[in-house]
Amino acid sequence: MLEAINNELKQFSTSAEEASNKDIFYALSRLLTKRIKQDWALTQNAYDHNSEKQVYYFSMEFLLGKLMKVHLINLQILEPVKKAMQKLGFSLEEVLQYEHDAGLGNGGLGRLAACFLDSMASLEIPGHGIGIRYKYGLFEQRLINQNQVELPDYWLKDDYIWEERRNEQSVEVKFGGTIHMTERNGRLHFVHENAETVKAVPFDVPITGYNNQTVNTLRLWSAESSLDAASYDQNQLPQYRDYLEYKQSIEEISAFLYPDDSHEEGKKLRLKQQYFLVSAGLQSIIHSFKKKYNADFSLFPKKIAIQINDTHPSLVIPELMRLLMDGEGLGWDKAWEITTNTVAYTNHTTLSEALETWPADMFSTLLPRIFMIVEEINERFCQHLWFHHEDYRDRIPELAVISYGQIKMAHLAVIGSHSVNGVAKIHTDILKKKEMKHFYQLYPSKFNNKTNGITHRRWLLQINPELSRLISSAIGDKWVERPKDLIKLIRYAEDTAFQDKAMEVKTYNKQVLARHIKEHTGLIVDDQSIFDVHIKRLHGYKRQLLNIFHIVYLYNTLKENPNLDIIPRTFIFGAKAAPSYYFAKQVIHFILSAADIINHDPAIQDKLKVVFLENYNVSLAEKIIPAADVSEQISTASKEASGTGNMKMMMNGALTIGTLDGANIEIKDMVGDKNIFTFGLTADDVLHYYHHGGYNAQDIYQTDERLQLILNQLHDGFFGNDEKDFKDIYYHLLSHNDEFFVLKDFNSYEETQEFVDQTYRNQQKWMTMSITNIAHSGKFSSDRTIQEYASEIWKVSKSPVFSR
Ligand SMILES: *Cc1c(COP(=O)(O)O)cnc(C)c1O
């Protein structure tokens, strides 16, 4: 290994003595790329020649984070490389920092896509990602004067080491123009005239499997001008300026990721991005399908499975129809059968503000042919209801794809696919019984659940090597390939020697995080305190506000009674707010303002510390999660479809304080009531209040003195001069009746937090609970999730490219 690295350095005429960390980083990346490329080509060749079904996962987001360590682990060379680095006088950890996070996603949905790619490759499933190569990923967050400031994330400025441009596989995507119909040989032909043509260029990223040589592909599409700059005379200024403007308008399509998590804006550029992704992705799939199977499209659903990650890529349905009919000459019925048998849809949310709709006039102008097809799909669906479901006749406007000038993407996705899945049991139940009740009654067999998962290779093996080693020392290392084997740890839950070691690991990880906190915020936190972690996007329903209300309550109580006996706690937040989400930004401002007061009040005697770490992303999550004692999963019940942060922390031995929402419920089912702290309204309670009323936030303000004090502090400027901001939170809760039930759940949350404190005092008991959580976390590996998708939706099996 040492020699290989030295050789790489030599080729760029440096030596280890002269090399910088960055030189070493590039040398290592070249070395890895060479190795990966061999297996990548062999895998690709096998997929081109065998007749295995291929899975394509379409997603507007892939939140990959860094990949170098993943590759080192997958290729089983992490230890030799680490040693070689030491010999050369470098620290691998420092070298790895030179990789920029690929932040092509907002949060859970994008990270899920990344975990799925990892699991597909590791399980030897021929599965690939299709996404957009945004020039700018999710914005970088700075905290300045206790407010969020956004900076552009120009992640491509140093070249992306893993990507490979495949110019020869570029395709064209057309926007706008008009459709001209002609008849030839008794058949209608659709000619697209005056369209704007965009060149879609694929950049492929290799996705390595764990210890198996399989290398799948993440194909990211980039928009480029199809006109050649050389044909413009730079001295002919008006024309050249037009050209530059035109070029920029094309490149804009893949310029940036929309930063609104779980919120839909209905912007034209976003629709352009979606169609760009779908059209380019499908054209390249059809191209490789035809090379293998000529034009026998009846084979298509047997050889191709397409999963769409939320409704964002649901234009695959009309676009596949277009390509099959206009491009390949198939009739409607045949094309429809192929399309619906190929496409499967994953629903991610029931939040109404996240449901995608497009104004029909904007849609038809931008995508005239696709609009015709959507209209036809809608027409046939409405006719079907009219003639075959008389009891649904009244509901046609409610269930149609197009109604009142709006196109409803979720309806299109359900009608045009063979599978509709939710992402946790409760979420799928809510879809079936409430949100998509009528569609469920029309198509009961389409609906199914696939509880989310996370790759235990990144989220345990990679980020917590100390705990991984301890686990392997007890139960062997088979759990790495079979995460359900973690259950064998249950025998050690009450083993005091093992508990002590697990405790040592946790303390070590807390010390490491404490150093990071000191370096990045200047705050000194006590590694003996409880590390209470709330990391996720900032959103009303995720209720960071409930957490900070409880912290302020503790603060007020300690001021009143400085001798109050509580275990010291360090509250750790990480969260980005969408730039246009005013309330979320106010909550950040509130947390930072309260933190400033609490952290610097000597009367608190360091019993409370509030830390907000800047720029929450995959790399920061990797630093925080191994050190978490308590995992905050406190969404308003019914709102968090699954959550995956909950799984990551459980797997690292944190105990969950959470509502009965999303996958928290399945975590509770696995570990039992005694090993999780649940509280608050249930989903049924919440849905009942929404439908029937009966909750009055003012009543709670009047009767709960603790909350009255905090709300008055907000109103009266206790947290700073910038009173106006905090008054808005006050009015949100009291005048707008607290739509996320923060005040309603406060009492139950506070009691449960007190129970957390009491429980932590018994360190043995705490460690028993912690180990029990780790032992049951195998179910939440995305390997299990992907096995379920593979056997129940995609009908694909493992297809090893290499014999082991
Ligand atoms: C896992 C993850 C998420 C999702 O967290 P939730 O708690 O499920 O919302 C979001 N962002 C990043 C960077 C993650 O790693």
Average pLDDT over residues 236-257: 90
**The tokens of 207 are what?**
């996705």
pLDDT tens for 394-430 read 999 999 999 999 999 999 999 999 999 999 999 999 9
Q: Cα(774) to centroid of ligand 1, in Å? A: 19
Q: Are residues 526 and 633 in the same domain?
A: yes
- For residue 26, tell me if it sits in a domain: no
- For residue 794, tell me if it sits in a domain: no
Average pLDDT over residues 646-669: 98
pLDDT tens for 525-540 read 999 999 999 999 999 9
Q: Which atom of ligand 1 is nearest to the CA of 662?
A: 8
262 within ligand 1 shell (Cβ under 6 A):
no
Using DSSP, state whether 477 is helix, strand or coil: coil
Whether the predicted pLDDT of 233 surpasses 80: no
Active-site residue flag, 537: yes
Using DSSP, state whether 632 is helix, strand or coil: strand
> Exactly one of 537, 609, 732, 779 is catalytic; which is it?
537
Average pLDDT over residues 129-146: 98
- For residue 37, tell me if it sits in a domain: no
Q: Are residues 380 and 473 in the same domain?
A: no
- For residue 92, tell me if it sits in a domain: no
Ligand 1 atom 15, closest CA: 618
Cα–Cα distance, 660 to 162 (Å, whole number): 41
Strand partners, 621: none
**The tokens of 473 are what?**
């020392």
Whether the predicted pLDDT of 380 surpasses 90: yes
* Domain that residue 247 falls in: 51-66+101-417
Last residue of a domain, one of 364, 390, 417: 417
Dihedral (C-alpha) 170, 171, 177, 182: value to the nearest 10 degrees?
Answer: 150
645 within ligand 1 shell (Cβ under 6 A):
yes
Q: Are residues 220 and 280 in the same domain?
A: yes
- For residue 455, tell me if it sits in a domain: no
**The tokens of 580 are what?**
């246009």
pLDDT tens for 44-59 read 999 999 989 999 999 9
Residue 804 pLDDT class (50, 70, 90 cuts): low
Residue 723, pLDDT score: 57
Q: Are residues 148 and 238 in the same domain?
A: yes
Last residue of a domain, one of 417, 432, 447: 417
- For residue 315, tell me if it sits in a domain: yes
Average pLDDT over residues 245-254: 94
Residues 246-270 as b/e (b if ≥16 CB within 10 A, e otherwise) read: eeeebeebbbbbbbbbbbbeeeeeb
Q: Are residues 387 and 477 in the same domain?
A: no
Q: Are residues 472 and 371 in the same domain?
A: no
Q: Are residues 164 and 288 in the same domain?
A: yes
- For the residues of 34-45, what is the DSSP string, one character each? HHHHHHHHHHHH
Number of domains present in the structure of the chain: 2
Whether the predicted pLDDT of 447 surpasses 90: yes
Cα–Cα distance, 85 to 23 (Å, whole number): 12
> Exactly one of 648, 668, 744, 779 is catalytic; which is it?
648
Q: Are residues 506 and 398 in the same domain?
A: no
Average pLDDT over residues 114-124: 98
- CATH code for the domain of 648: 3.40.50.2000
Average pLDDT over residues 445-460: 98
Q: Are residues 495 and 398 in the same domain?
A: no
Active-site residue flag, 348: yes
- For residue 31, tell me if it sits in a domain: no
- For residue 434, tell me if it sits in a domain: no
Q: Are residues 405 and 527 in the same domain?
A: no
Mutate to test the pocket of ligand 1, among 62, 109, 111 (most ligand atoms within 8 A of CB): 111
Cα–Cα distance, 29 to 4 (Å, whole number): 12
Average pLDDT over residues 326-339: 97
Does residue 783 contact residue 456 with C-beta atoms inside 8 Å?
yes
Ligand 1 atom 1, closest CA: 645
Cα–Cα distance, 293 to 299 (Å, whole number): 8
Q: Cα(246) to centroid of ligand 1, in Å? A: 37
Average pLDDT over residues 148-153: 98
Does residue 710 contact residue 553 with C-beta atoms inside 8 Å?
yes
Residue 366: how many CB atoms within 10 A of its CB? 19
**The tokens of 286 are what?**
């059809």
Q: Are residues 466 and 408 in the same domain?
A: no
Active-site residue flag, 482: no
Q: Are residues 217 and 285 in the same domain?
A: yes
The C-alpha angle 256, 259, 264, rounded to 5 degrees, equals: 110
Residue 23, pLDDT score: 93
pLDDT tens for 386-395 read 999 999 999 9
**The tokens of 256 are what?**
């940036």
Residue where the block lists tokens 């196109």: 407
Q: How far apart are the first and last CA of the chain?
A: 23
- Rounded to the nearest 10 degrees, what angle do helices 582-599 and 723-734 cross at? 120
How large is the C-alpha radius of gyration of the chain? 27
112 within ligand 1 shell (Cβ under 6 A):
no
pLDDT tens for 172-183 read 999 999 999 999
